[in-house]
């Protein structure tokens, strides 16, 4: 019960990494506000509420809309008494190079992945200050530290989130608010499984994706959640401005990390 009676907001928590993070906090006694546009978040919150530990409620919201963000934070404060931890996880991706992605898609990706983190942090900080401090964990990406082809908007948003993490850590240190980022590699979420299923040979695609990592497998949402809880908790009390890869060794190598490049 590391987070007993702590109030936690997790964005993009209807499924995947966000859901795993929310569940991990609830099991550790936290009261979690599940935020998502997907109405599956309501079912997730109801299930989490039945887990022994803390409680959970769902608030449907678009993280890129300032008024909706402020409403989420207000409801979390009214229901759970304040805000102790914020996890900025909500994200979207649209493939394409800088000449291939449309202006509308570019704006959408930046609005959700980067502006959403700014808006939620901006709204939560005064509440954390009233509690004497808090923790913010941004879910960035290994692609915020390295790049691939034809993914310009997503990479720009996650690189910006890494930089924003460091800036926030400096600005908020005097308020006893720590800010860190986690950079996952390829994680076996529902969306990744759907992507792999779309390849002509899904099993070969899975092996190729696994071979990008030194550990030669995809990560799990629960492994990312464990890193998030560490950074949000007392064990990381002297850590702020850190960017932690949870990538199975992906960023440690040129080319294929799990086997030699052919």
Query: Catalytic site residues?
Result: 154
Please report the sign of the dihedral spanned by the C-alpha atoms of residue 179, residue 106, residue 96, residue 218.
positive
Give the residue among 33, 38, 28, 23 at the shortest CA–CA distance from 4: 28
Identify any residues that bridge with 136 across adjacent strands, giving them in sequence order: 86, 179
Buried b (16+ CB within 10 A) or exposed e, 209-247: bbbbbbeebbbebebbbbbbbbbbeeebeeebbebbbbb
Q: Which residues contact 47 (CB under 8 A, 6 or more apart)?
A: none
CA angle 171, 30, 225 (to 5 degrees): 70
């Amino acid at each position: 019960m590391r987070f007993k009676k702590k109030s936690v907001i997790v964005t993009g928590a209807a499924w995947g990494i966000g859901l795993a993070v929310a569940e991990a906090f609830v099991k550790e006694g936290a009261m979690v506000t599940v935020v998502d546009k997907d109405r599956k978040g309501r079912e997730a919150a109801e299930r989490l509420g039945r887990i022994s530990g803390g409680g959970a409620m769902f608030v449907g919201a678009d993280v890129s809309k300032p008024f909706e963000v402020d409403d989420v934070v207000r409801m979390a404060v009214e229901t759970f008494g304040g805000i102790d931890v914020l996890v900025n996880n909500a994200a979207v991706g649209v493939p394409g190079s800088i000449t291939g992605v449309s202006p509308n898609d570019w704006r959408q990706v930046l609005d959700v992945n980067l502006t959403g983190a700014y808006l939620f942090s901006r709204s939560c900080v005064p509440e954390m200050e009233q509690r004497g401090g808090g923790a913010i964990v941004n879910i960035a990406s290994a692609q915020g530290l390295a790049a691939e082809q034809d993914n310009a908007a997503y990479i720009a948003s996650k690189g910006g989130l890494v930089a924003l993490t460091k800036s926030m850590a400096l600005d908020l240190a005097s308020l006893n608010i720590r800010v860190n980022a986690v950079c996952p590699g390829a994680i076996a979420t529902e969306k990744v499984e759907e992507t792999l299923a779309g390849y002509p040979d899904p099993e070969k695609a899975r092996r190729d994706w696994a071979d990008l990592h030194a550990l030669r497998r995809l990560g799990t949402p629960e492994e990312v959640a464990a890193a998030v809880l560490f950074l949000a908790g007392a064990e990381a009390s002297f850590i702020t401005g850190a960017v932690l890869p949870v990538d199975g060794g992906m960023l440690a190598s040129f080319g294929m990390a799990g086997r030699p490049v052919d």
